[in-house]
Amino acid sequence: MHETGHRTERSSWGMGEEITVYRPTAGRDSEYHLFFDDRGIIVGYIGVIYEGVDVASQQSYRAWMAKQIATEFILTPAVAARSPGARSGRLYADQGERISGRAIVIPRGERQLLHVDANMLTAYAPLLSPYKPEYLILILLPAGAVPPMLYGPYDSESRDYIARQQFAKGEVAHFALCGDAQVDVAIEAYKRAIDIGLSETLYQAEAYHRLGLAYRDKGLLPEAKTAIETSLKIRPAIPEVVNHLGKIYGMAGDNAKAVELFHKAIGLKPNYALAHFNLAEAIEAVQPRRALTAYENYLAFVELTPGERERIAKAKDRVQALRKSEK
């Protein structure tokens, strides 16, 4: 943004800002679109190299592409006309817990030319796809040429897009995807997403679900219950949401309701390991034999689940203790 001699343009991006920087990349004309949320935090970029760069010269990119499964797509007539023989492109994509990458490559004979490169915080990945007309139309654009104008409102001007921006902001703040967790920021962002209005039922339900979890982490259990119960009214049979509601009831001291909800979550998803573990903890003091079975079920189902080391160790300890108590 601050490189001397490079032209930059600023424009609104929903409730945030987009800054476009025009600069050479590997000796080729290119433009980089940088996206910032309403706090000024960069959440992603999309770079377009008009003439493309041979992937053979980019060792790290070749290694990354080798791990991905490409999605083939047909080039628009305008782009195909600029390069005889180029009829299709390949979209490469990966999705990490924090960061997601996207790339568009056009085969040219024996060469693979990288034209579009993008990285973003995963929460914003649905909003920052490089596979859009405004980026694809720049592929193979001759030096000095002016791209054709695209008319009509941009996605980022719609209420739903702005609401989804706020939802993504909540995810980044709540789950510490960019620095430390900021529960207050997450609560405000989820609430704004709900107030602005999300058009898809999935997003509506998940916004209330995430809001409930943020309230839980803040220690506001009545608010957490209300939010998650609202999520379940929108999408009633989601086992993970039912399980989270059970944990909140347990934290609030209503163990009977918690047990009922853990059973419901297991009924919806019999191999749901975490619900078995939560059920075991909730009933161990009063139903040790059933708790033993629930711990054993958890261990049977959790084998391939990442991030469960501590719970696995605790479940194994409790199984041993409960078996000894039966003798």
Domain boundaries, the chain: 8-147, 158-236, 237-327
Domains 158-236 and 237-327 share a fold: yes
In the chain, the amino acid numbered 201 is T
Q: Are 16 and 33 in contact (CB under 8 A)?
A: no
pLDDT in tens, 274-315: 999 999 999 999 999 999 999 999 999 997 677 889 999 999
State which fold the 237-327 domain adopts.
Answer: 1.25.40
pLDDT in tens, 225-247: 999 999 999 999 999 999 999 99
DSSP string, 261-287: HHHHHHHH-TT-HHHHHHHHHHHTTT-
Report pLDDT for 155: 78
State which fold the 158-236 domain adopts.
Answer: 1.25.40
User: How many Å apart are CA 187 and CA 173, to the nearest integer?
Assistant: 9
Q: Are 187 and 210 in contact (CB under 8 A)?
A: no
Its pTM surpasses 0.75: yes
pLDDT tier for residue 177 given thresholds of 50, 70 and 90: confident
pLDDT in tens, 14-42: 999 999 998 888 888 899 999 999 999 99
Report pLDDT for 269: 97
Average pLDDT (255-268) is 98
Average pLDDT (72-87) is 83
Report pLDDT for 151: 60
Report pLDDT for 150: 64
Report pLDDT for 149: 66
